[in-house]
Each structure stands twice: as C-alpha cells, then as structure tokens.
Structure 1
C-alpha cells in the first residue's frame, strides 16, 4: 500500500508539473515576439490579481514596476493586452504616431448606447472629422478666445454670491463649484445656464458624478470585454446603472433641444450641428461626423469633460490653499497689487501674476486628476522604442508617474509653486507638465479649462480667504480613484475679505 501511495503522489506531482509546463509553454508560444517587458501573469486572469491586490492605486502599482522593467511595460488584464508608458519623452514619441491615436471600444457604453460615437471614443478618419467640426464650432462660439472671458466672469460672480450666503461657515464647495463650471459648458452646448437649485440641473450633475465615481481607475471597467459579462458583481452593476442614468438624461435634453432648434439664429453647439447636418443632407453629402446618432454622444463628451475635470482641479486648489495659508496670502497680495482691489482680476493681468500661475500649475501637477490619462488603442501593428506594439493593444500613459518622478521634480510630494518660477520670479511653464495630455489627441477643451481655472480661482481668492474649519484636524489629501482622481469630500470656511 505504501508503494502504491508513493506512486500516486509521484503521478500527481508529475501531472501538476506537466500542467504548469504546458501553461508556461502555451503562454510563451502564443505571446507575440518582442513585446515590452512586464511581470508574468496568471492564465486567463493575466495580471489582474496583482493589480487588484497591490497596495495603493493602479498608477502607483505601474510606477513601481518601472524599477524592474523600464518605461514601457506590458501587462494583461481582463482579456486585453495593455502597454503602460512612463516618462514624458516616451509618451510624447508614442502619441505622435497615428497608429497609437485610436480609442478602445467602450464595452459597457456600447451595450447601453449601441448607436453613434463621440469625440472621446472615435478613431481614424471619423475622429478627425468629429474633432475638426467640434473645434470649429467651439471657436465660433468664442470658446478659448478673450471674448469668452466675460461669460466665465459672469458665472464666477454668481458663484461668489452663492458662497457669501454661507457667511463664513463651513460648507462643502463641491456642489457650488460644480454648478458654476457646468453652467459654463452648458451655455456653449445647450445655449443657456441653469439656476443652481434647478432640480433638472442637479439631477444632471448627480448622474455625471455617479458615472465618474463608479467608472474605476482610468475607466478600466469600460475598456475590458470581461466586466459586462460579470455584471452580477455589485461594482459593475453600479457602474452600468450610472451609465444608463447619465445617457438617458443627456438623450432627453438633446431631444427636447432639437424640437426647439432655431434655424435662423443658432444659439449653441446643438443648433449649429443640426443646421450643418441639414445643409449636408440637402447637398447629398455623407458626413462621418454629422450623423444624428452622434449628437448625444458628442454632447455628453463635451459636457462631461467640460464639467468634472475643471471642478475637480478647483477643489484640489481650495484644499491646498486651506493647507498652505502662506501660499494663499502671497497669491492674494499679488492679486491686490495687480488690481488695487478696485476691480476683478482679468486674464490680461497674467504677466503681473506669475506666482498665481505657478500655484495653478503646481495644483495641476500634485493633484493630477487623470493619473492614467485617457486610454489609447493601437490601430495597426507598429513599433515603439524598439518594441513591437500589436494592433488592438490598449496603450495607457502614466501621467501620475511623470508628474511625481523625483528625477524631474525635486521633492515631488511637496507642494512647491516655486518650481514654476525662474530666477527672476517670472512664471515658466514646463513641458513635462501635461494635465491635458500629449500629442494628436490632446484635450480639445484645454483653452477653455485654462480660462476657467484662472478666472474662478482668482475670483475666489479676491473675494475670500479659505480656511480649514477644524484647526485640530489637518487637511487631508487622500483621493478617490474613479475615472478622475478627486479629493474626498471636505468642508471649507470662506471668510469674506475687506
């Protein structure tokens, strides 16, 4: 019996070794040659177990891997092949290639909204047409131009009045700031602003926030074909519900607006889109961009990107002003010197406000709101720095790593606006700061976002001193890792300045 038991044990071990050898050989033989290096993963699951079990965030996990594998790392997860880029020069070279300018399929969104495509998820010639048309319309509506500053300033003054109602008492700035920023893009897309307490407006902001919070780090739930099949999981179910609510709301608003279209006097993006489509139809010209089913998707991209990112950046700015009163005081003095406190700051004042610009740049660096940027897809086989990148590979850039690289930024976890000033105290931009992305698919709303950040931030510090309500508890910089990296909910006391 002992001999037979020994034979059984040996047979079991042999079988186990055989299975392991088979899986290793199977993986090796199926693996395309000359891929970037990366950690070995589990069969089927790939590197998902390591990514999900690692301490910290996904972007920190990838950043640590650079010590062993360099700036270009290959992993597998959720049924997809992923290449993660690190280092500004690496990202810049990669995203200058048209082969790496595609977008991955949004698996859950496409199940819910199977028709139409927007700015963020389009690729190839269709993306070129949609982007070109959208940028032309936005410029025509004044976005990014000096004339649009008045629209932002008007909304900023309304926000200041809303904050004054709290009489210096603690409040959560998330909703007030979100209302103001969203109203600015609403004036462009829908041709109107909403009252802050309008139930429809509040519902719109709520479904957008839910969508962003439930999307997971870098929107990975959308990028993998696996998660929709696992929709019984609570976190996937919550995200699907959030996406459904968001698009249902956008489709309804666009539908209502379409019926009210003013052909002779187009008020906004929707009117101009519909007029342009009607003109093309009469001419018998087929347009990849001007398709009815694309309109809600483009509107949702403009509204979502134009609301959440700027709101989140301003919330980080408020937190850092609360935590660094000396920095805040220096910004206020600079504003006061430029305006003599008898008018509001203006974009034209920027040459006189180098420290203020440096503070905003440092906020965008240390509060990197898109740590993994927006994912790209390799549209055809290509090479990058000697490595093969096969068609269909998901390509992500780790902006957090680039903004916290100690070889680029001295003491990267310290809040130091001075890193954006030259020896004469003048503002100096740094190419390695890329909050709006790099290359062919850089954010089309960059100019609008920069205007909003400057005007709203300077108005806030012109009117108020921002203080931590609880002096006994230090300000927390812990974040929430959703589609954007956002601060945890907090309160602030906005003390009116004389």
Structure 2
C-alpha cells in the first residue's frame, strides 16, 4: 500500500514540476516577445502614414491576396479608411502607396524619391544597373545617354516615323495573311513593336522568321508573363535571404522558374550584343550600343572613370528597353484591338474620321494627328481602361523625407497606384465604361487630361514616352484604316479580364480582321 501511495505521490509531484517548467518556458517566451514588441515600438519612426494592421512576418500579404481580387484594386479600396498616402507592410518591407493625381505628381517631382528599390535576385544573377534597378545616382547619366540616342535617331519627330511606317506595312501583311479568319494578334503585334526597339538598340530590324529574333521574343514573353511571382523575392530582404539558402530553389518552383527566366533573358541579350559587335551591314545606322561604347571610349581616353558607363550596365539598359519598351506598347495595342472589337460603333467613328482626313488612297501620318481628335481620344481611353502598369514603377527614398505631412524614412519603397487614379469615380464619371468623349471638349476638339498618366510622372517618368506615342498612333491608325476588327463567331462574348505579369494585359483572344474596301 505504501509503495502504491509513494508511486502516486511521485507521479503527482512530477506532473506539478512539469507544469511549472512549461509555464516558466511560456512565461520566458512571452516576456521576450513583449520585450521585442516594445523595443520595435520605441525604435519605430514617428508619424508614419496610416495603414492596415499587419500580421507577424507576413505583413499585409494575407489581407491583400488571400481574399481574391487584384492587388491594385484591393489596395485602392483601403483609401476609404486610410487616405491617399498609405503604409503597406510586406515580408520584411515597408512600402508607401500613393493615390491621387496631385499626390503622385508632387511626390515624384522631388529628387529624394528618384531612386529605385533593391532587386536582390537580379543583382545576384546579372550584376549591373539600368533604368529599373538601383543605381546609386547613376540613373541621371544613363538617362542622359539614352535621351541622346533617341534624339539622334529622331524619335518623337517625323524623321523616325518611316521606321514605324515600314514595320506597320509589314504588320498589315501579317494580318492579311489570315484572310479574315480568326487569329490571336499577340504574336504579330509583339513582332512589330519589338522590331522598333531593335532599330533603336541594334540599328536594324529583323525578319520575323530570324531564329535569333524569334528566340528574343520568346525569352521576353516568358520573363514578362511569369515574373509576377518573382517581385516579392526581388524587393523583400527576408524572402531574398531565404531564396539564397542552398536548396531553397529546389522546393520553391516559382523562385526556380523566375531565376531561370532572368538567366535566360540576360544570356540572350548578351548573345545579341556579341553578334552586334562582330559585323555590321552596309545599311547599319548608329544605335544605342554604338553610342554607349563610344562615350565609354571617350571617357577612358580622357582618363575619366564613369561608373554609369560600365560594360555590365549596357546589358541592363538593352534588357530594360526590350522588357518594358516593347511589351508595354504591344499590350496597349492588344487592349485597343479588344475594345474596338467590343465597341464596333466607336471603331466605325474612328474609321470615318480617318477616311475624312486621309481618304482611302493614302495612309495616316503623324502630321494628321491634330485633325484626328476622336482617334486620339480613343487612344487615351484605351490607355486609361487598359492601365498596363497598375501599380506603376517603384521608387525609393534616398533620404528621410515627408509626403503629405507624414514622415517617410530613407530607403522606403514608394508605389503609385496608377489604376486607382485612372478609375477614381471622383475624377472619371462611370470609370468602368469605355467613353472616349472624356478627352473631347464641347467643340469636339481633343482635350488632354493630366489625370491620365500611363507613362508615369516626375523625374523618372518613361523616357520612351515619345517613341511609344508614335508607335501607338501609327500602328493603331494603320490597322483601322485597313481593317475592321470583328469578334469571331465562335467567341460567345468579349472578355476584359486581365492577367498580371510585368504588365497588366488581356487574356489571350482571337480577332477577325476584315479588309476594308
């Protein structure tokens, strides 16, 4: 009996000690957690912009992604509670998202917001800097160089128009090849726009069947369409450190795919640049690569070390022009084909205006733009409803600053919600509707709207804006002058659903391009 009581007593005592041990461990962990929270709160900068409550480690990622909807739309909805300047926390990253035309323009006009945020993965895979990577102040020199090239080529002026017209003629023949039958215009539009970039970068265009050109378009398309998942690994120091651990890529398919795509993209850019330097044809014109290498040689002869003109930066400049310059314009044209197919009465009005100005015996030119106000209004409305970069291009602060009275620490990532600005019902009446009349005054003349900012705003706005505007006008007017874009009979309804990669583009769709008499 005593032995039984002893065993029971011993068991009871052990259970009490075990409970106390667990309690002590829990108390210790709780104390450490409270200490860290208090320390973080005390060190946290004061007067930050407001924002939603964040989850530990994950930040606001659950609220913004787990409940459906697009990221830019979900963030836009939060303005009703937090206002136009909002703090969003992602894993290891604090971002400030700007809403409203005035807020974005005022902020991005300032030098303190002119840097780009880190791109951790790309810097490991392909060191260097370009237009979309952090440059430690070198961006001004790179931008100056690129603007010099564009001016020499006559971009934005009639001198460069013939290059686009030549490509537009070839695009027309590509459309005609389908004989009015249903086809997806994505490939043909991508070919045409990319060849314009080839003219700028390599001083020549490629035949659509050229293997090197086909491979370039393929790697660009893959990078653009599959890069959405890589953004978080690029900007988050926490996720980046995890991504760099041995074996992580094996178990994270999206990261493995992204790294492979970046490798393939810059590998092919390097290959084309080597081919460019080997031999130039008799009809070769000075291009961006030529000017870059020439300026670098001049600096070397002068004994001047220029950090911006390093060889590793050239591949990023070339890559940025292809990944951004070609895909943005081609995607805008795809949205244009989709909306013309969905709104035949608007398409017919554009065609009538073109016929009234140019007749049926000649094609539109840039010089005709002032006499085509409705056509220009339609192009603007396409850029508004088809906002191809909904959250703009990220900026980063170079020093502690303030926006709208809120303190913004150095290194903060700043994002403009362009989609919100283009769909704000306080600015655009019935913003979901396609209404080109928004860009016409009472006399039917074209009326630009400063609230439309498809090319960004401020010191780091798109340097290829003039080129893109020329391309959009020539390609769009040529296509509608030659064809009527119709919905194929097998398509039940036109869908305006989009997909998010590097750009916001429509889902793949077919059209019928009927030749006009």
Would you call these one fold, judging by a TM-score over 0.5? yes
Cα pair distance change 1:7/1:274, threshold 3 Å: closer
The CA deviation string for residues 347-379 of structure 1, in whole angstroms up to 9 with x for no partner, is 111121111000000000000000010000111
Separation of aligned partners in 2, 1:103 and 1:261? 35
Task: Give 1:484 deviation, angstroms.
Answer: 0.6
Matches within 5 A, 1:15-34: 21=34, 24-34=37-47
TM-score normalised over the length of structure 2: 0.91
1:294-309 map, 5 Å: 294-309=313-328
1:139-218 residue pairs with structure 2 within 5 A?
Answer: 139-216=151-228
Aligned to 2:133: 121
Q: Which moved more, 1:196-205 or 1:385-394?
A: 196-205
Measured in 2, the distance between the counterparts of 1:58 and 1:493 equals 33
Deviation for aligned residue 1:16: 8.8
Return the alpha-carbon distance in structure 2 between the equivalents of residues 294 and 438 of structure 1. 24
Question: Would you say the 8 A contact 1:35–1:388 is kept in 2?
Answer: yes
- Answer with 192-201 or 415-424: which moved more: 192-201
Contact 1:58 / 1:217 at 8 angstroms: preserved in 2?
Answer: no
Return closer, same or farther for 1:440/1:364 CA change in 2, 3 Å cut-off. Answer: same
Q: Closer, same or farther in 2 for the Cα pair 1:491/1:229, shift >3 Å? A: farther
Q: Offset of 1:233 from its aligned partner?
A: 1.4
Q: Are the structure 2 counterparts of residues 261 and 276 from structure 1 closer, same or farther at C-alpha, using a change threshold of 3 Å? A: farther
User: Which blocks of at least 5 consecutive residues in structure 1 are unaligned?
Assistant: none
CA distance in 2, matches of 1:331, 1:432: 24
Measured against aligned partners, the alpha-carbon deviations of 1:206-253 in whole angstroms (never above 9, x if no partner) come to: 111111112217944422233444543111211111111100000111
Q: CA deviation at 1:52?
A: 2.6
Pairs within 5 Å for 1:76-115: 76-114=89-127
Contact kept? 2:129, 2:135, Cα under 8 Å: no
Match of 1:305, SS state, is helix
Aligned to 2:52: 39
Q: Find out whether 1:74 has 2:95 as its counterpart.
A: no
User: How far is 1:51 from its partner?
Assistant: 2.4
Matches within 5 A, 1:357-396: 357-396=376-415
Larger Rg: 2
Distance 2:310 2:33 in 1: 52
Other-structure match for 1:355: 374
Unaligned runs of 5+ in 2: 1-13, 244-250
For the Cα contact (< 8 Å) 1:219–1:482, is it kept in 2?
no
Please give the alpha-carbon distance, in whole angstroms, between the structure 1 residues aligned to 2:132 and 2:393: 8
The question of whether the paired residues in 2 share the 8 Å contact of 1:218 and 1:374 is answered with no
Deviation string for 1:433-470 (max 9, x for gaps)? 00000000010000000000000000000010001113
- Residue from 40, 48, 56 that aligns with 2:61: 48
Please say if residues 218 and 371 of structure 1, whose CA atoms lie closer than 8 Å, have aligned partners that are also in contact. Answer: no
CA 1:287–1:4: 2 relative to 1, 3 Å: closer
Secondary structure of the 1:293 match is helix
Pick one of 420, 425, 441 that aligns with 2:439. Answer: 420
> Post-superposition shift, 1:420?
0.6
Task: Say if 2:131 and 2:139, in contact at 8 Å, map to a contact too.
Answer: yes
For the residues of structure 1 that align with 2:503 and 2:232, how far apart are their CA atoms? 12
Q: Write the distance in 2 (CA, Å) between the matches of 1:6 and 1:268.
A: 76
Quote the Cα distance in structure 2 between the aligned partners of 1:390 and 1:29.
15
Q: Is the 8 A contact 2:119 2:134 kept in 1?
A: no
Aligned length: 497
Deviations 1:163-183 (A, max 9, x none): 100000011100000000000
Superposition deviation, residue 196 in structure 1 = 1.1
CA contact (8 A) 1:186 1:192 kept: yes
Offset from partner CA, 1:143-196 (integer Å, 9 cap, x none): 121111111011000000011000000111000000000001101101111111
